């Protein structure tokens, strides 16, 4: 039972990550492989505050969200000058730098040793300790994030994001402030990733930089793309499938060392296959056609 | 009102040494339809790109109702009351016809993120009103039954019509139309010209680039003929058509 | 101390140069970032490992076989993935994503086959460095500098002199025009992929001779290559030389001030700065922007 709850909690965390990245990449068309960086920075901010200043959980959560939101805006800003594949490379660069900071700023982050002994979150006197309680907390955050995403994408703001994704020139000619929009949506996505990071850190009660690598970013974008970028439920489906996958592999008897590699081979292969035959993903509507010659 | 409702003053813009605009000036009265004629490569589209802020001119000014728009970003200019179409026809092809029209409304409260969450009611009301207006615009020009189809499913002529409808939804005072009737069927041309001819009655002014002389003759109050980035001739359609300089430029 | 830093920088520059030349070449004909290059880099190193350690061939012969093997991996990727995608008019983002997927697959296949721990093909007898301008430089390092220089000269002459080179340059400057004027663009892309992947594999081999190999080694090398290529100006070989030297100097001289672990971060800070303020690099052409 606990095992099942564990999987569900992880799925919840990845639903948050994928849905927030979907806002950035699927709706605004800003393909980013830096999401694990925000995931990680959010986790570290909250944990460090809790460990050093012993501030309450909700304060830490809020601080992580705000910090990552601002950071996201700063990182998204290059998207105003550089586009398409160059932008991907820029986000990539940020991801590597962020990992490097987490890994090398030993006096602050503990470096490769990570930060152990993260206390259980206490929310207005409710100590979140059992798997059930964590599931409730993660589920709640997940629902909140999905609700926000839903509000955004069904609003005129969401329509504007799609317009920017498809044709910036049209959007500008229609009076949309494309630059502000891009920065804003990047900030929101990054802030949501911080929520996932805080959940993850407190659930596992230990963090180290290896959870927030380039490969993790690639994994998150794969969830979005395989599930379907630019649709509300695509990334949710993607998260369920890709997070449950290694458990299925373990179930069929693969040793866990091999299963990790096989899982990656499967989602890497799925990414290639999707690009070949279904670039809009399982449920999506955006096929990353940016930068193509207009006919 | 006065002669300089829109004033364009000595615009210059060159690309790698090619002077697309070389000190172009002209002006537009309120409620006037001005035709812009000229051979290929004369700089007509470049002029539109500069007016609408997509290109920064090397020198010169664009002044609308006494407000200098030069150097402002495109979205500012668009909200200051200028709407345009593109020669190469830009629409959000993947979104529905209705969404394209809805996108064209300026300053929508629902496009501010804060309103989406904190002032939901008022932005939803505005959105509903826009939706009604968009639907009636589409009805008026016969695109209503296509409202929920993706824009790319429309015929070429219908897409051009849709981009004109988008300019109407913008409630702009000045419309820059870049070859709106080129390459479409005669009935559609009639329909579009009908809409354009009616624009001054709604207090709107138009600059119209068009190669089709008949169309220009039908709708324009005044015509400017440009070549190599400068104004060559100006006057009523008749005058310009018979100007020896124009005839010479066309032959050359 | 200072001269040792310079020598280290020179060695790093030579490896970056080889990788970056491949990346730059591939990007300028295919117009997308060939992320799976990172896997090809590691493939080169592991091919040498298999041939040299498992099969028992001499190191030099293994390397000579391994480089074209890496090229063959690049060819396979081009034929199986990129070309079909291009036929479907896929844009640079789709190609990039497919390439990332291919990287993930190849890297994990190597992890399964060889394990995640590092493997070595370095000659067992530890080499004494030769004195060189007050610094020490090993034989292997000298070889890697020589190889990089030789490859660079061959590439440059091939580009300027041969028919193939001229065709490649035509495709780089305008694929459509090249296609109209009778150049087989697919063919050019195919052999450029081969050459670029061979360069990547060579870079991997050189690096593994210096610091051993892991299945993920290609990522760091690719990143350095991308930085050098962007800094120099994508598609300009002389620019790439400049970029590689600039990056290597920046990384190694900064160790005066901060510790070596920050080299990646430095590389990427440079990349970000260039992408934002001068995306065309030192010598490249302007990159595309939104135009009306
Ligand atoms: N973005 C650009 N980059 C380089 N040159 C350009 C650009 N836009 C226009 N030009 C050049 O500027 C000149 C004027 O072009 P423009 O498109 O304004 O002409 P036009 O009058 O609209 O012609 P047409 O009737 O063919 O539409 C041409 O020589 C064109 O090649
Ligand atoms: Mg034109």
Q: Could you tell me the residue range of the domain that residue C11 belongs to?
A: 2-123+131-277
Q: How far is the CA of B45 from the centre of ligand 1 (A)?
A: 6
Coil, strand or helix at A107: helix
Contacts with C265 from chain A: Cβ below 8 Å: 96-97, 100-101, 104
Q: What is the pLDDT of residue C285?
A: 59
Residue C40, pLDDT > 80, answer: yes
Which CATH number belongs to the domain containing residue C151 in this structure? 1.10.3470.10
Residues β-bridged to residue B207: B34, B176
Give yes or no for residue A285 having a pLDDT over 70: yes
Burial C241-263 (b: 16+ CB within 10 A, else e): bbbbbbbbbbbbebbeeeeeebb
Task: Return the ∠ at Cα B98 (arms to B97 and B103), rounded to 5°.
Answer: 100
Does residue B18's CB lie within 6 angstroms of at least one atom of ligand 1?
A: yes
Asked if C32 contacts C235 with a C-beta cutoff of 8 angstroms, the reply is no
Contact criterion met (CB below 8 Å) for A166 and B94: yes
Give B183 Cα–ligand 2 centroid separation in angstroms.
14
pLDDT(C152) > 80: yes
**What pLDDT does C284 receive?**
61
Which spans in chain C are helix H?
Answer: 2-30, 37-49, 59-77, 83-87, 92-114, 139-161, 163-173, 175-180, 185-211, 217-232, 237-253, 263-277
Q: Categorize the per-residue pLDDT at A293 as very low, low, confident or very high, splitting at 50, 70 and 90.
A: very low
What number is the average pLDDT over the span C259-269? 81
Assigned domain for A22 exists: yes
Token code pair at residue B6: 């829109």
Structure confidence at residue A240 as a pLDDT band (50, 70, 90) = very high
- Kindly provide the ipTM of the predicted complex, given to two decimals: 0.92
- Range in B240-249, C50-59, C99-108 with the lowest mean pLDDT: B240-249
**In chain C, how many domains are there?**
1
Token readout for A289 is 């056609």
- Please tell me if the CB atom of residue B126 comes closer than 6 angstroms to any atom of ligand 1: no
Identify the DSSP state of A228. -
What is the distance of C-alpha C34 from the center of its chain? Answer: 10
| Eight-class DSSP state of B96 | B
* Cα separations in angstroms, A16 against A138, A141, A199, A281: 9, 8, 10, 18
Distance B209 CA to ligand 2 centre (A): 8
Q: What is the dihedral of CA B58, B61, B62, B66, to 10 degrees?
A: 160
Residue with more model confidence, A136 or B112: A136
Query: Is A151 a member of any domain?
Result: yes
Lowest mean pLDDT among A175-184, B211-220, C42-51, C117-126: C117-126
Looking at residue C276, what is its pLDDT? 77
The 10 Å Cβ neighbour count of residue A239 is 26
What is the number of alpha carbons within 13 Å of residue A165 lying toward its C-beta? Answer: 28
Residue A292 lies in a domain: no
Q: What sign does the dihedral B150-B151-B156-B161 (CA atoms) show? A: positive
User: ∠ CA(B222), CA(B104), CA(B27), 5° rounding?
Assistant: 25
How many other C-beta atoms can be found within 10 angstroms of the C-beta atom of residue C135?
A: 17
Is C283 inside a domain boundary? no
A229 closest CA partner among B150, C104, C94: C94
Whole-number Å distance between alpha carbons of A164 and A162: 5
A221, part of any domain: no
* A46-93 residue pLDDT tens: 999 999 998 999 999 999 999 999 999 998 887 777 777 888 888 988
* pLDDT of C287 higher than 70: no
> What's residue C128's pLDDT?
65
For chain A, the domain total comes to: 1
Torsion of CA A57, A61, A63, A67, to 10 degrees: 150
- Distances C162 to C18, C170, C191 between C-alpha atoms, Å: 20, 13, 14
Q: Are A100 and C259 within 8 A, CB to CB?
A: no
Which residue has 């002994």 as its token pair?
A117
Largest CA distance in chain B: 64
CA distance C262 to C251: 8
Look at residue C285 and tell me if it is in a domain.
Answer: no
Q: Which ligand 1 atom lies nearest to the CA of residue C291?
A: 1
In a domain, C57, yes or no: yes
Question: What pLDDT score was predicted for residue B130?
Answer: 92
Q: Confirm if B195 and B164 have CB atoms less than 8 A apart.
A: yes
Phi, psi of B12 (to 5 degrees): -135, 135
Sort C126 into a burial class: Cβ within 10 Å, 0-12 / 13-18 / 19+: exposed
Q: Between these two residues, C168 and A176, which has the higher pLDDT value?
A: A176
Q: Would you say residue A166 has pLDDT above 80?
A: yes
In this structure, the residue with its CA closest to atom 3 of ligand 1 is B15
pLDDT at position C125 is 57
Q: Which of A124-128, B55-59, B86-90, B127-131 has the lowest mean pLDDT?
A: A124-128
Domain assignment present for A258: no
Q: In the structure, what pLDDT confidence band is assigned to residue A295 with cuts at 50, 70 and 90? A: very low
Instruction: Report the run of H or E that residue A274 belongs to, with start and end.
Output: helix A256-277
Chain C residues in contact with A292 (beta carbon < 8 A): 89-92
**What pLDDT was estimated at residue B111?**
86
List Cβ neighbours of C86 (8 Å cut-off, separation of 6 or more). Answer: C95
Decide if A82 is inside a domain.
Answer: yes
- Residue-by-residue DSSP string for A152-165: HHHSHHHHHHHHHH
Average pLDDT over chain C reads 85
Q: Is B38 in the pocket of ligand 1 (CB under 6 A)?
A: yes
pTM (2 d.p.): 0.91
Q: Is residue A275 part of a domain?
A: no
Average pLDDT, chain B: 89
Q: Give DSSP secondary structure letters for A38-84.
A: HHHHHHHHHHHIIIII---HHHHHHHHHHHHHHHHHHHHGGGGTS-H
- DSSP β-ladder status, B33-37 and B222-227: parallel
Higher pLDDT: C120 or C81? It is C81
Mean pLDDT value across residues C79-107: 92
Rounded mean pLDDT of C221-244? Answer: 84
pLDDT at B218 > cutoff 70: yes
In a domain? residue C173 = yes
Helix, strand or coil, per DSSP, at residue A127: strand
CA geometry: angle B82, A161, A288, nearest 5 deg: 115
Instruction: Decide if A253 touches B, using CB distance below 8 A.
Output: no
Cα C235 from Cα C154, distance rounded (Å): 16
Ligand 1 in contact with B43 (CB < 6 A)? yes
C-alpha span between B181 and B220 (Å, rounded): 14
Q: Is B87 in the pocket of ligand 1 (CB under 6 A)?
A: yes
Would you say residue B51 has pLDDT above 90? yes
Tell me the chain A residues in contact with residue C81 when contact means C-beta distances shorter than 8 Å.
272, 276
Please give the distance, rounded to the nearest whole angstrom, from the Cα atom of residue C279 to the centre of ligand 1: 25
- Give pairs for C1-4: CB < 8 Å, separation 24+: C3/C133, C3/C134, C3/C135, C4/C134, C4/C135, C4/C136
Each residue's pLDDT tens digit, A6-47? 999 999 999 999 999 999 999 999 999 999 999 999 999 999
- The response to whether residue B41 sits with its C-beta less than 6 Å from ligand 1 reads yes
Q: What subunits make at least 3 CB pairs under 8 angstroms with B?
A: A, C
Which residue, among B180, B161, B207, B165, has the nearest Cα to B48 in the 3D structure?
A: B207
Chain C residues whose CB is inside 8 A of the B55 CB are 292
- Domain interval for residue A16: 2-209
The answer as to whether A19 is a domain residue is: yes
On average, the pLDDT of chain A sits at 90
**Chain B contact set for C286 (CB, 8 A):** none
Say how far apart CA C68 and CA C47 lie, in whole Å.
Answer: 10
- Residue B54's contacts (CB-CB under 8 Å, 6 or more residues apart) are A169, A172, A173, B74, C292
Asked if the structure places residue C191 within a domain, the reply is: yes
User: Residue B49 and residue B62: Cα distance in Å, rounded?
Assistant: 12
- Asked whether the beta carbons of residue A103 and residue C279 sit closer than 8 angstroms, the reply is no
CA of B229 to the centre of ligand 1 (A): 10
Asked, for residue C11, whether it belongs to a domain, the answer is yes
pLDDT tens-digit readout, C120-133: 887 765 566 677 66
Residue contacts between A and C (CB atoms, under 8 Å) = 152
What span, in angstroms and rounded, lies between the C-alpha atoms of A39 and A27? 20
Q: Which residue from B13, B24, B41 has its CB within 8 A of the most atoms of ligand 1, so it is best to mutate?
A: B41
Nearest atom, ligand 1, residue B226 CA: 21
Chain B contact present for A175, CB below 8 A: yes
Segments of chain B assigned E as strands: 6-15, 18-28, 33-37, 59-64, 67-68, 82-84, 174-178, 205-209, 222-227, 230-235
Q: Which helix (H) or strand (E) holds B131?
A: helix B120-140
pLDDT at C288: 47
Helix (H) or strand (E) run with residue B216 in it: helix B213-219
- CA dist B192 and B174 (Å) reads 17
Cβ B94 under 6 angstroms from ligand 1: no
Other Cβ atoms less than 10 A from the Cβ of C40: the count is 32
| B39 close to B249: Cβ distance less than 8 angstroms | yes
Among residues A164, A282, A287, the alpha carbon closest in space to that of A228 is found at: A282
Among C52-66, C178-192, C258-272, the range scoring the smallest mean pLDDT is: C258-272
C287 belongs to a structural domain? no
Helix (H) or strand (E) holding B191: helix B186-198
pLDDT recorded at residue C232: 82
Arithmetic mean of pLDDT, B145-152:
90
Question: C-alpha distances in angstroms, B32 versus A71, B6, B153?
Answer: 50, 10, 34
Q: Which of A128-132, A214-218, C169-173, C273-277 shows the lowest mean pLDDT across its residues?
A: C273-277
Give domain status of residue C212, yes or no. yes
Specify the range with the lowest mean pLDDT, choosing from A229-238, B84-93, C53-62, C124-133: C124-133
User: What percentage of chain B carries pLDDT values higher than 90?
Assistant: 58
Nearest in space to A230 (alpha carbons), one of A161, A156, A155, A151? A161
What letter would DSSP give residue C275?
H
Token pair listed for C246:
């600039």
| Torsion A52-A55-A57-A60 (CA) sign | negative
């Amino acid at each position: 039972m606990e095992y099942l709850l564990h999987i569900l909690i992880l799925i919840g965390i990845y639903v948050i990550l994928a849905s927030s990245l979907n806002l950035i990449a699927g709706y605004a068309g800003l393909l980013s492989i830096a999401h694990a960086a925000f995931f990680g920075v959010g986790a570290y901010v909250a944990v460090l505050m809790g460990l050093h200043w012993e501030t309450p959980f909700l304060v830490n959560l809020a601080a992580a969200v705000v910090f990552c939101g601002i950071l996201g805006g700063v990182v998204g800003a290059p998207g105003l000058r550089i586009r398409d594949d160059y932008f991907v490379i820029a986000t990539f660069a940020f991801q590597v730098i962020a990992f490097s900071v987490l890994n090398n700023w030993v006096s602050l982050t503990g470096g490769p040793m990570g930060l152990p002994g993260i206390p259980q979150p206490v929310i207005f006197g409710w100590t979140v300790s059992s798997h059930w309680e964590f599931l409730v907390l993660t589920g709640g955050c997940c629902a909140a994030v999905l609700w926000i995403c839903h509000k955004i994408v069904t609003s005129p703001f969401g329509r504007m994001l799609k317009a920017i994704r498809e044709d910036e020139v049209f959007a500008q000619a229609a009076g949309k402030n494309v630059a502000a929009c891009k920065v804003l949506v990047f900030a929101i996505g990054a802030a949501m990733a911080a929520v996932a990071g805080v959940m993850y850190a407190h659930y596992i009660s230990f963090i180290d930089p290896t959870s927030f690598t380039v490969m993790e970013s690639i994994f998150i974008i794969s969830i979005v793309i395989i599930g379907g970028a630019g649709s509300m439920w695509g990334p949710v489906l993607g998260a369920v499938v890709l997070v449950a996958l290694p458990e299925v592999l373990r179930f069929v008897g693969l040793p866990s060392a091999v299963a990790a590699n096989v899982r990656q081979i499967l989602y890497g292969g799925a990414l290639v296959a999707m690009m070949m035959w279904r670039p809009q993903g399982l449920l999506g509507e955006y096929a990353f056609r940016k930068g193509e010659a207009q006919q | 009102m006065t002669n300089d409702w829109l004033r364009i003053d000595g615009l210059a813009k060159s690309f790698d040494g090619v002077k697309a605009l070389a000190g172009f000036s002209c002006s537009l009265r309120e409620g006037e339809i001005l035709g812009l004629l000229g051979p290929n490569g004369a700089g007509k589209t470049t002029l539109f790109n500069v007016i609408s802020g997509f290109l920064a001119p090397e020198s010169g000014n664009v002044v609308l109702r006494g407000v200098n728009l030069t150097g402002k970003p495109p979205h500012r200019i668009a909200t200051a009351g200028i709407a345009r179409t593109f020669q190469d026809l830009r629409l959000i092809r993947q979104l529905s016809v209705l969404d394209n029209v809805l996108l064209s409304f300026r300053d929508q409260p629902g496009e501010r993120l804060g309103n989406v969450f904190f002032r939901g009611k008022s932005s939803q009301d505005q959105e509903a009103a826009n939706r009604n207006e968009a639907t009636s615009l589409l009805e008026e020009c016969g695109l209503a039954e296509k409202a929920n189809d993706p824009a790319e499913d429309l015929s070429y002529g219908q897409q051009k019509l849709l981009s004109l409808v988008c300019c109407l939804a913008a409630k702009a005072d000045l419309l820059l139309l870049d070859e709106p009737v080129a390459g479409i069927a005669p009935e559609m041309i009639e329909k579009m010209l009908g809409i354009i001819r009616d624009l001054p009655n709604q207090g709107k002014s138009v600059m119209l680039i068009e190669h089709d002389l008949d169309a220009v003759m039908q709708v324009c109050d005044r015509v400017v003929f440009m070549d190599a980035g400068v104004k060559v001739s100006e006057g009523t359609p008749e005058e310009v058509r018979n100007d020896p300089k124009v005839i010479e430029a066309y032959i050359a | 101390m200072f001269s040792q830093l310079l020598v280290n920088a020179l060695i790093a520059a030579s490896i970056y140069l080889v990788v970056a030349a491949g990346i730059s070449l591939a990007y300028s004909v295919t117009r997308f970032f060939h992320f799976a290059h990172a896997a090809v880099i590691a493939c080169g190193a592991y091919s040498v490992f298999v041939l040299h350690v498992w099969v028992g061939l001499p190191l030099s012969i293994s390397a000579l076989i391994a480089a074209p093997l890496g090229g063959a991996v690049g060819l396979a990727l081009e034929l199986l993935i990129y070309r079909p995608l291009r036929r479907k008019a896929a844009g640079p983002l789709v190609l990039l994503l497919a390439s990332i997927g291919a990287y993930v697959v190849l890297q994990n296949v190597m992890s399964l086959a060889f394990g995640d721990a590092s493997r070595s093909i370095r000659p067992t007898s530890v080499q004494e460095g030769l004195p060189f301008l007050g610094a020490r430089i090993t034989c292997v390092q000298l070889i890697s500098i020589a190889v990089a220089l030789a490859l660079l000269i061959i590439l440059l002459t091939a580009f300027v002199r041969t028919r193939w080179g001229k065709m490649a340059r035509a495709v780089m400057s305008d694929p459509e025009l090249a296609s109209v004027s009778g150049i087989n663009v697919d063919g050019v892309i195919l052999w450029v992929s081969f050459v670029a992947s061979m360069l990547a594999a060579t870079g991997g081999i050189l690096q593994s001779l210096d610091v051993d190999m892991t299945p993920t080694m290609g990522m760091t090398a690719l990143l350095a290559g991308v930085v050098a290529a962007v800094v120099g100006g994508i598609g300009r070989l002389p620019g790439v030389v400049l970029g590689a030297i600039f990056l290597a100097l920046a990384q190694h001289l900064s160790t005066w001030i901060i510790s070596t672990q920050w080299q990646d971060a430095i590389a990427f800070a440079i990349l970000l700065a260039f992408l934002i303020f001068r995306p065309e690099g030192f010598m490249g052409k302007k990159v595309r922007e939104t135009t009306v």
